[in-house]
Amino acid sequence: MSLPSDFLWGFATASYQIEGAVDADGRGPSIWDTFCATKGKIAGEVDGKTACDSYNRTADDIALLRELGAPSYRFSLSWSRIIPKGGRGDPINQAGIDHYVKFVDDLLAVGIVPLITLYHWDLPDELDKRYGGLLNKEEFPLDFENYARVVFKAIPKCKYWITFNEPWCSSILGYSTGYFAPGHTSDRTKSPVGDSSREPWIVGHNFLLAHGRAVKVYRDEFKEKDKGQIGITLNGDYTYPWDPEDPRDVEAANRKIEFAISWFADPIYFGKYPDSMRKQLGDRLPEFTPEELELVRGSNDFYGMNHYTADYVKHGDGNPAPEDFLGDLTTHSYNKNGECIGKETQSFWLRPNPQGFRGLINWLSKRYGYPTIYVTENGTSIKGENDLSPPAILNDTFRVDYYENYVNALAQAVSEDGCNVKGYMAWSLMDNFEWAEGYETRFGSTFVDYDNNQKRTPKKSGEKMKALFDGLIKKA
């Protein structure tokens, strides 16, 4: 079992989850600032106002990466730091650009490769108020294209670009369940606005158009000179049929992946939405015009893969509710025979199942012609971890085992199954603001003491990561 000599590993974070400094140096508010200010949306009524204070502590973060031996670092930019109001006619904030340019220079100066995500859920709030944000097919893709061009021009030294992180989450959790910003849902007890039966599919379509526009800009104006690559990051669980003897459960298990991943990947690789989605959603799923298809099809230099867990899947009754987004099915932690998918964690949706990681890498590889895959997130929370304090919280053996099992499953997919995986980013470099779960859930390989000036202390999982990859990556 081994990984190629040019395999890239490191850690990942996202701007709103770690930066803090929400009012510093001209940054404008994002939809997450607004969402956090709405009572009842975030556990503990907290926000990202300070988070890990990474905006003011980039030197500390780089020192931490060096201490852990990480050769690369995936992070996202705050759009509203760079263009505070977000639009293509709005002023650019040079202080925001300068911050990220210096950060990239400082990373490269110590040999750490940056992977930059343009958008990790934090849309400038002004665009949401101005024209409905992600729901606006005419304006949003053009504003994102402009933002992308500004960033590409400012940071030519970055060679790995990701347009969007997990558009499924922004579309479904933001516009169906209302669990994430901007909180749209048909449930009027949660939000005065939203149509869960239609809005998520419109938003998903607009993400693809915006992605296509940004990729075209990079390829047309920057790629030849800067020699970088660009892709999108999609999230999805692996699935097993609840009853492997029931062909309806087998079909439903495959359909769940199509509704999560192929929703975005099929248009990029095949130029169309999955048949299973069209069958269930009908005209609620937008159609691509010829011009849109030309933008979207082929718009990936690599496949960005976020993955955490697996599910047992049971088929539905053939009459899904209008707001159903799973694909007429239910997910379960136990199968028909009473076998459990994996141990509980602090996250209700996450149970470790490393063989599912290998399974999904193979599923993606076979469906999409063995593309280059970069795993851009993988990690776990630990049940009750936030109740601990040092030194106990540093001894995160559950996470150590998770990483070891998952990374070895990845290595098997590469060396035994022939899959083309070229990178792995552990989520997360440090404990941070975990969206609707606030600070109650920790994913970090580094303990952040929020009560003591955001002091960072590596956990065992962070300290063991280098040795794990040193044992698997072939020497050049």
Alpha helices in 110-198 (DSSP H): 125-131, 140-154, 167-168, 174-175
Residue 10 corresponds to which tokens in the numbers above? 């490191």
Examine the pLDDT at 195 and tell me if it is beyond 90: yes
Closest by CA position to 456, among listed 73, 8, 33, 59:
59
Could you say which of 377, 385, 434, 437 is catalytic? 377
Phi and psi at residue 146, in whole multiples of 5°? -65, -45
Examine the pLDDT at 476 and tell me if it is beyond 90: no
Mean predicted lDDT score pLDDT of the chain = 98
Cα 332 from Cα 425, distance rounded (Å): 27
Cα 171 from Cα 215, distance rounded (Å): 20
Q: What's residue 425's pLDDT?
A: 99
Within 10 angstroms of residue 89's Cβ, the number of other Cβ atoms is: 8
Residues 6+ apart with CB under 8 A from 135: 175, 199, 202, 203, 206
Q: Contact, 438 vs 46, CB < 8 A?
A: yes
Give the residue-averaged pLDDT of 158-164.
99
Q: What's residue 9's pLDDT?
A: 98
Could you say which of 145, 166, 258, 292 is catalytic? 166
Bridge partners (DSSP) of residue 303 are: 232, 373
Q: Scan for tokens 């030519």, then name that residue.
A: 156
Q: Annotated catalytic, 377?
A: yes
Residue 279 corresponds to which tokens in the numbers above? 């069958």
Within 10 angstroms of residue 112's Cβ, the number of other Cβ atoms is: 17
Examine the pLDDT at 150 and tell me if it is beyond 90: yes
pLDDT tens profile 327-375? 999 999 999 999 999 999 999 999 999 999 999 999 999 999 999 999 9
Confidence of residue 263 (pLDDT cuts 50, 70, 90): very high
Q: What's residue 183's pLDDT?
A: 98
Q: Contact, 89 vs 101, CB < 8 A?
A: no
Q: What's residue 38's pLDDT?
A: 97
∠ CA 295-299-304, rounded to 5°:
145
Q: Helix (H, G, I), strand (E, B), or coil: what is residue 297?
A: coil
Position 334: which residue type? Y
Phi and psi at residue 442, in whole multiples of 5°? -115, 135
How large a percentage of the chain has pLDDT more than 70? 100
Give the residue-averaged pLDDT of 80-97.
98
Q: Annotated catalytic, 166?
A: yes
Within 10 angstroms of residue 245's Cβ, the number of other Cβ atoms is: 8
